[in-house]
Structure 1
Amino acid sequence: MKILIITFTSGNNPGTFMQGLGVQTAMKRLYPTAQIDFLKFPDFKVNFGVRDKKAKLWQTFRQKAASAYRLIKYNKLRKEKMNFTPTIDLFNYTKEDESVIRQYDLVVIGSDTILEEAYGKDGRIGLNWMPLDVRKLYFAASASPANFEPVNELKQVASKAVFIGLRDNLTIDYFINELGIEKERIVKQPDPSYFLDVNQFKLSKKLADRLRKDQKYVLYNFNSNFPLRKELADAIRNVGYKVVSTAYNPYADICFDMIDAYEWAGVFPLIDVVVTERFHDSVFGLRNNKPVIAIDWDPTRFSKGGDSKTLRILEDYGLKHLHFNLCGKTDINPVIDALKNIEAYYNSQHVNNVNVLQQQRIDSILEQIKKV
């Protein structure tokens, strides 16, 4: 059997790598002897970054150097863990490209926000939705923030999937309300990184020893153009935490900025609270039963109504009160108040119970896929 996975894998984003690895892990559980390949495609979400105007020039160079080094490590990890097809453009594909895809017995679409774009410049539906007449399933796929207009042809494409597993309520709402897919056909599915055993990931002793037992730490990750990145880091320090980042951040006390995805996942057991804009920081924080304060601020990353994947993951754990939208705002006091009172706002036993339920759900989902 030959399986093709269409999801994001490129770059040095640890969450991107982990969700891809999770999809592959799930498929190996279902089909242990299958040949599994990832579709290599130009990343339509590639972000070249925006310079932090508050940072010094040498700090910007330091950030780029660390990012380049991490990319080398990520490329090595991809080479070790994944197989790829030749490059095919999702939105500008040829008949020859279609022939390559038709060679596979099953096409698995997802996870991550692989459905975020739907159409190419010529109006054709992208291969990330898979308009070809092939056996396909959506696997924890997300269209967040789902700001594109649906067309009837897109509904027809989506409805032909043998299994529709969607990662977040925002995407589920889009499939039901905008595409007209029957609610009964849709399965809400945890992020594929739940198929990974978080206990397998370790930070090296040399790096782990930088975190002292008598100190409290906040994992703090935001893009360099977050306008409150310095102010929020300073405020976190002022309430007694050291600030840790897994990318270079001139406002952090400790930067693990040259680690790969496996090492990144090994940071979470060692910190006390996660304050982040990143979805997979939230996922791995909660899977390690660490309090998460999730912040949206970039309008391109949430819907017109303010919905987002970070909001929805906290909703899954009953923690919507720990989500904040700071778009166009300068008042960080609500975030700091939540951090000060985190023990009152966070129920560790409840989070543990949700994690157990999530593991039961992923097992159940594999059983459902076996039947289609």
Structure 2
Amino acid sequence: MLIGTLTLHTGYNEGAQLQSLALQRCISDLRPGSPAEIVDHRYPRRLETGYGPATNARQRTLAAFADGLLLSPKRFYSEDRSPTFRYVSDRYDAVVVGSDEVWKIDYVSRLGGLIKLQTNPLCPPFPNVYWPEVACSKIAYAASTGSSTKWTEMPRRNRYLMAKCLNEFVAIGVRDERTREMVLWADPSLADRVTLTPDPTVTHDLTSNATHESLRVKLASWGVDFNRPRALVIAGQHELYAEATTSLRARGVQIVSVSDRNHLADIDLTEKPIDPLEWANLASQFSYCLSERMHGALFALRNRCPLICLDSRRPAIGFPTKNEALMTLMGIPSQYVCIHRKGARDNLLDMCENLGKLVHDYMKIDNRLRELAEIGRTFLDRALPAAK
């Protein structure tokens, strides 16, 4: 038996690559002897316009990591999904779509809404490869629309196509309530078939103590000072973030930025060759973590690093952002700061001035992670074809 996954495994995003790897490993654990391959479909516009060529050590490391995943023997580098579907139908017993924002859809209206275009290079036009028309069994796992999809603006024909595809899935696992709402908009009769499933990095733990010592040596060689408190910052530019880092520095904390450039960081590692598995363990080497990235926040919790989860997104159509949903799910909403909310500045600076408030109940968090992992594993075990 052979299982494929259709997911976001390329591009310069550590979290996307880690969720791809975690899902693959989880499936392989549940079906020993049945390899789980990532179907290597790459959209040229997404990679060339959205990301561009690798120009620094970080980007080259991420590109190499993506190529080193267990990929299908054949690569499809095309805007056309039909050859990929034929290949999937011939090669796999089942295909799992997910996780991450595989179901993100972006329309731009023209002429007062008479014309609707899909021009976002990071969002392949619907229907795309993540809405497969294949002969094998189809499963969705932790699929998400992201925060910007406005499904009610879809043309009527595409709503029909979405409903048709969804009805062909043997199981529909979504990462958030917002995506569940989109599924029910497409076809309300699917209510009993949609299940909330956790991100694969919750279902399968990618942290490893074996990585810590080598990572410590590498960080020290780049100037990280292990003789003083250290804050790992995974967030871009914003005046409120600047105030927070200034406050931390005034308390003797060294500021180290990764993934997203922060001009106030003492040590900038945003272009350093840190592979995703090292990135997953980074927080283990820091006293605190401030992350605007969901996976950055999640791995801080896994590494038992005191966390402030930042957010510059706004809730969409009444649904919480993925960062807010994560912190609520983990039982620590007080450590979440949305910069658009009243009192955000005072709340964030109070945390920075009183770092003792960042101590979490890690036993409770670990138990919650285990509970969620069991939900994800049970869903997949029931949905996947039985081992032959």
Name structure 2 gaps, 5 residues minimum: 108-116, 120-124, 153-158
8 Å contact 1:170–1:312 — kept in the other structure?
no
Question: In 1, Cα distance between the equivalents of 2:145 and 2:366?
Answer: 28
After TM superposition, the structure 1 = structure 2 runs for residues 1-372 of structure 1, keeping only pairs within 5 Å, are 1-35=1-35, 36-42=37-43, 68-84=56-72, 85-89=74-78, 92-93=79-80, 95-103=82-90, 104-117=92-105, 121=118, 125-145=127-147, 147-150=149-152, 151-176=159-184, 179-180=187-188, 182-194=190-202, 195-199=204-208, 200-202=210-212, 203-209=214-220, 210-224=223-237, 226=238, 228-247=240-259, 248-257=261-270, 258=272, 259-298=274-313, 302-305=315-318, 307-327=320-340, 332-341=345-354, 343-344=356-357, 346-370=360-384
Amino acid at match of 2:373: Q
Cα offsets for 1:233-268 (capped at 9, x unmatched): 223323443212123533112233311112212211
Distance 1:13 1:279 in 2: 12
CA gap of 1:21–1:306, structure 2 versus 1, over 3 A, is: same
**Secondary structure of the residue that 2:40 maps to in structure 1?**
strand
Cα contact 1:136–1:163 (8 A) shared by 2: yes
Give the count of matched residue pairs.
354
Note closer, same or farther for the CA distance 1:292–1:173 as it changes in structure 2 (3 Å cut): farther
**C-alpha distance in structure 2 between counterparts of 1:44 and 1:66, whole Å:** 15
**Cα 1:192–1:47 shift into 2, 3 Å:** farther
CA contact (8 A) 2:310 2:338 kept: yes
Amino acid aligned to 2:309: A
Is residue 138–residue 161 contact of structure 1 (8 Å, CA) maintained in 2?
A: yes
Root-mean-square deviation over aligned CA pairs: 3.4
Separation in 1 of the partners of 2:292 and 2:100? 15
Relative to structure 1, is the Cα distance of residues 98 and 306 closer, same or farther in structure 2, using a 3 angstrom cutoff?
closer
Note closer, same or farther for the CA distance 1:74–1:181 as it changes in structure 2 (3 Å cut): farther
Q: Distance in 1 between matches of 2:45 and 2:331?
A: 33
Pairwise CA distance, 1:99: 1.8
Superposition deviation, residue 131 in structure 1: 4.2
TM-score (ref. length: structure 1): 0.81
Q: Secondary structure at the match of 1:81?
A: coil
Question: Aligned pair in 2 of structure 1 residues 320, 46: CA closer, same or farther (>3 Å)?
Answer: farther
Q: Percent identity?
A: 20
The runs of 5 or more residues in structure 1 that have no matched partner are 51-63
In the TM superposition, residue 284 of structure 1 has moved relative to its aligned partner by 0.5
Query: What is the CA–CA distance in structure 2 between the aligned matches of 1:307 and 1:156, rounded to whole Å?
Result: 28
CA distance in 1, matches of 2:361, 2:255: 23
Residue 59 of structure 2 aligns to a residue whose secondary structure is: helix
